[in-house]
Amino acid sequence: MLKGLRKLILGGEKESEIFALFKEHIQKISEASETLKLAIESDDASLNYEICELERTGDIIRRDIALKLYEGAFLPSVRGNLYRLAELLDEILDTIEDTSVYFSLIHGLSPEVRDYCVRIAEINCKMVEYLADTFESLEKEADLSDKTIRIRAKEQEVDGIKRQIHKKIREVEIDSFWEGINLLNFIDSLVTVSDKIEDSADMIQILNVSLR
């Protein structure tokens, strides 16, 4: 009975189109995450342009999702959570873009700090991969607990690395006040990406319950 209800809720044409848009949105997040990681690894701030383009594409996808929801896709009780998920996904892309902008404003990273930042960027990429897997499971009526636990574990790992970075940057010689501010903003924004991914995973879990 439950499986039949979920199939009824998700099986319409508009519903299928919205799910496809969500998958595309998460794919853009994955591309932006990978591009940011490459930028930090290679110290290439020019990749900021690609990330900005991906963020703009994400805005378009979010608006398309909103329009289709207002056209009547899904039950009213589900629409609000779906739109909130679209907003949260958009916030991930916004934060990645902010991170890339801050990165373009700093004059390089010390080797040790860069290693930590690359590690966080790698974890963020893995978390996006887990997020995509979690969303895919919505259509299968699977128990998402194990999938969301993986994401939370990675977010906690990022928090631990953040503490290590904050200790390390106290030893870094800063040329100016603004250089220090931009460095701190870059690190905090990079860490915030994982928080936003975790928030999105929590919303998917809520959606999973509402579709039962």
Q: What is the mean pLDDT of the chain?
A: 88
Percent of the chain scored above 70 by pLDDT?
92
Is residue 50's pLDDT more than 80? yes
Q: Which of 88-97, 119-128, 153-162, 169-178 has the lowest mean pLDDT?
A: 169-178
| C-beta of residue 96 within 8 angstroms of C-beta of residue 51 | yes
Residue 40: pLDDT band (50, 70, 90) is: very high
Number of domain units in the chain = 1
Residue 11: pLDDT band (50, 70, 90) is: low
Q: Between these two residues, 108 and 85, which has the higher pLDDT value?
A: 85
Between the alpha carbon of residue 141 and those of residues 23, 171, 208, 209, the distances in Å are 17, 50, 7, 9
Is residue 116's pLDDT more than 70? yes
Range of the domain at 117: 2-210
Is residue 87's pLDDT more than 90? yes
Is residue 97's pLDDT more than 50? yes
Residue 1: pLDDT band (50, 70, 90) is: very low
Contacts for 185 with CB less than 8 Å, ≥ 6 apart: 102
| Terminal-residue alpha carbon distance, the chain | 10
Neighbours of 32 (CB within 10 A): 30
Which CATH number do you get for residue 62? 1.20.58.220
Nearest partner of 147 among 88, 100, 186, 200, judged by Cα: 200
Percent of the chain scored above 90 by pLDDT?
60
pTM over 0.85: yes
Tokens of 31: 């591309």
Nearest partner of 22 among 74, 100, 95, judged by Cα: 74
